[in-house]
A and B are shown apart, each in its own frame.
Chain A
Amino acid sequence: MSALINRRDLDFMLYEMLDVPALCQTPRYAQHDRDTFESVIEAAHALAEEKFLPFAAKLDASEPHFDGERVHIIPEVKEALKAYVDGGFLATAFDAENGGSQLPYVIAQSVAALFASANGPAVGYTLLTMAASNLLNVHGTEEQKTRYMRPMMEGRWFGTMCLSEPQAGSSLGDIKTRAQALPDGSYSISGNKMWISGGEHDLSENIVHLVLARLDGAPAGVKGISLFIVPKFHVNDNGTLGARNGVRLVGLNHKMGCRGTVNTVLSFGDTPCTGYLVGKPNEGLACMFHMMNEARIAVGLAGVMSGYAAYLFALDYARQRPQGRLPTDKSPESKPVAIIEHSDVRRMLLQQKAYVEGGLALCLYCAKLVDEKATAEDAKQKEEISLLLEILTPIAKSWPAEFCLEANKLAIQVLGGYGYTRDYPVERHYRDNRLNAIHEGTHGIQGLDLLGRKVTMKNGAAFRLLLGKIQQTVQATAGDASLAEFSVALGKAVEVAAATTQTLAAAAVQGKVDLFLANANLYLEMLGHIVVAWQWLQQAQCAHAGQAKATAADRDFYEGKRIACQYFFRYELPKAHRQAELLAKLDDTCLNLSPSVL
């Protein structure tokens, strides 16, 4: 069994749930077929397992350090990243005209899932580079693409995203980094940036920072932010590297987890620092958010895989570790059983399974929507997929960060005292995963995004579309005796979600915006659980269909899907009802809480 993912599960999702090969009917992916996808995943699995997994613990224990001149990162990282780039994995989803394999995003995400499971912190550098490349591909000029994007796509240079500052992270409208126009059309950049992953290292020849800054005289707030390319080394017209630009490493942040991805504080402009405008002035945030949505799905998936890797470890451990006897066995001399024989251990494993496989289904579904959006020919269809993605993105980003982290907690619990030691990987996965509720928009921000923007956008069009999709699954499973219990439960949950949302929206219309948004986090959890329940019912539906012609090994796999669905519907979905009840009352406990009483 793979330590990275249950390959049968990944195949189930890609081919039985999502019918990914159907994308090959579209001109964009016509050159591919299922065999290619399988070969790609096989190749990625081999590289992730053999080149990345072996040093994951060492990288965690040997945090990057700064000696005042340069950052030291263990050599395994550079070597593994070279193999990754040489293998063409950086370019998995890039267009063929840019030297990429032009594979569907859902396949690229499946590949990313394998590396995230093996050694997320090491592969983090490439994800940032892909995101920076994609951004320039959409918003850069031809000259910027040739000069900066190409070397990143070839994996020679790495990229960063410089958004946050020491005083402004979630509230980007308050950033202060300044850009002054120079006579030659470039800009002089000055200011400080915080939490910059991959901000300084020797892993690549150059680093391309994408920096948010304010032009002199720009309007206050988010409408006055522009985007700039700031290379670590200046780039000559022939593509060779010139002198050092004025971006300086101030220091490193020492994190709880994800330690292998060096995280930096950067200073711009201590010595002359030149930047180049990307897109139009004052539209920097829009450019940045163009790629942010896809990045958020990727963060969700990273959260899933931290939980998934820990679940697989705990599962294997529980099968091997003998301890105690069953309650009915009173003989102290009988052989101890493997802990998986204890019902409470199985409960913890089933709960982990329900969280991580539910989260994986959601993230891969969203990834497939990205492909459907890119290939849809009908404008109305494209608009619908786009809306669906808008509303699902905050859920796909935050649900795994919350509940797959819960799976990490349970994995530690299965190992008991051993799980709490650094001799086993489960505590590391927990620490790594804890980041995912914080970066790329915190949990709180995702709640505000969902309720404040996505649910209400276009008079609730995205919300209605989502409920309509869930209703389709409810109807499709209603007539099936083995699924009826879940179908009825999900149908009720949809009704409750609709009514609750209406109550909240009415409050917003009446001008009680504070009260409306004070409930955003609870709302995110409620809708998140309903959406994941929907993903579980679809999994049970596909498993039921597969069961008819299943081999012996597959029968257990499909039964596992059914039982995890049952668990989710009986133990988890009812939580959404309790949350809906509270939401419908427009509870103001937190809103009216005076800071002085805390």
Chain B
Amino acid sequence: MKVLVSVKRVVDYNVRIQIKPDGSGVVTDGVKHSMNPFDEIAMEEAVRLKEKGKVTEIIAVTLGGAKGEETLRTALAFGADRAIHVKEEGEIQPLTAARALAAIFKKEGAQILFTGKQAIDDDANQTAQMTAALLDLPQATFASKVELDGTKAQVTREIDAGLETLEVDLPAVISADLRLNEPRYLKLPDIMKAKKKTIEAVSFADLGVEAAASLKTIKTTPPPTRSKGVMVKTVDELVSALKAKGLV
């Protein structure tokens, strides 16, 4: 069984995000980047399934500029067999990513697309769902447990009321939540082996994909700073203060 894992290069989760002075976005120059943590979890799941003999080939895919290659090398060191780099500079909207992933999924004849449930840069949480829609395939998002059974997958997902278990026919799209697994530490011999694996570069044109322009970023601002608190002496005072603010 061939599976596709999408991995996105994002600003590292440890970095304190700074907004560009003109409000056009966040500062990414000279800032540490790494693989989106949810994608790492998706990657880990695919590797574990391969180790269990349920998956035969793992293809890692990324979209973005030249530096995306670093993220693919990490994916290859995790255990992907080969990688595809959709090399396009500039902003890539979720719908564009979904179109590219769908095209590659079809071309490769994959059975599962694993993704992180969302990327920690824009937190859009759309790509997995859109890709499933474009491919007209079942989707199981926010997975906390995945079991493959021949032509079906049993996916446990975290919902507000607890856990929900879905059964989906393969091929399908599965997105990983935080508690699906704990990604491994990379091993030096695997980093060395990753150097020898191939990364195929393709463009939107190669895939026959048109970049979507459905979203427009108007401005980027930091979250409002917390305003100073007020001490109240009695419950009545608290209630009237809340009423005054229209909160109760």
Contacts and interface: CB of A to CB of B under 8 A. Distances in A.
Most central of A35, A86, A103 by chain B CB within 10 Å: A35
Contact of A39 (B14, B32, B74, B185): B74
Given A7-B32, A35-B73, A39-B77, A91 B188 contact: yes
Interface in B22-48: 29-32, 34
Nearest to B190: A88
A553 B188 contact: no
Contact of B30 (A38, A40, A83, A554): A554
Contacts of A42: 34, 186
A36 B185 contact: no
Contact of B187 (A2, A36, A86): A86
Interface in A171-187: none
Given A36-B195, A39-B191, A47 B185 contact: yes
Interface in A1-44: 1-2, 7, 31, 33, 35-36, 38-40, 42-43
Contact of B188 (A50, A101, A551): A101
Interface string B62-83: 0000000010011001000000
A35 B70 contact: yes
A477 interface: no
Contact of A101 (B14, B73, B189): B189
B192 A36 contact: yes
A92 interface: yes
A43 B73 CA distance: 12
Contacts of A553: 29-31
Interface in A78-97: 83, 86-89, 91-92
B33 to A, nearest CB: 11
Interface residues of A, number: 29
A115 to B, nearest CB: 13
Interface residues of B, number: 19
A43 B186 contact: yes
B75 to A, nearest CB: 12
A40 B185 contact: no
Contacts of A92: 188
Contacts of A1: 14
A31 B192 contact: yes
Interface string B1-31: 0000000000000100000000000000111
Contacts of A259: none
B72 to A, nearest CB: 11
Given A7-B32, A39-B77, A87 B70 contact: no
Contacts of B194: 39
Given A39-B74, A551-B30, A554-B30, A87 B192 contact: no
A483 to B, nearest CB: 25
A553 B30 CA distance: 7
Given A31-B192, A39-B191, A87 B73 contact: no
A88 B70 contact: no
B32 A43 contact: no
Interface string A43-67: 1001100110000000000000000
B108 to A, nearest CB: 26
Contact of B189 (A7, A38, A46, A88): A88
Contacts of B188: 40, 43, 87-89, 91-92, 101, 103
A424 B128 CA distance: 45
B30 A87 contact: no
Contact of B29 (A31, A88, A103, A551): A551
Nearest to B70: A35
Contacts of B73: 35, 39
Contacts of A552: 29-30
11 contacts: A2-B14, A33-B195, A35-B70, A35-B73, A36-B192, A39-B186, A39-B191, A42-B34, A87-B187, A89-B188, A101-B189
Given A7-B32, A43-B186, A553-B30, 4 more contacts: A35-B73, A43-B191, A87-B185, A553-B29
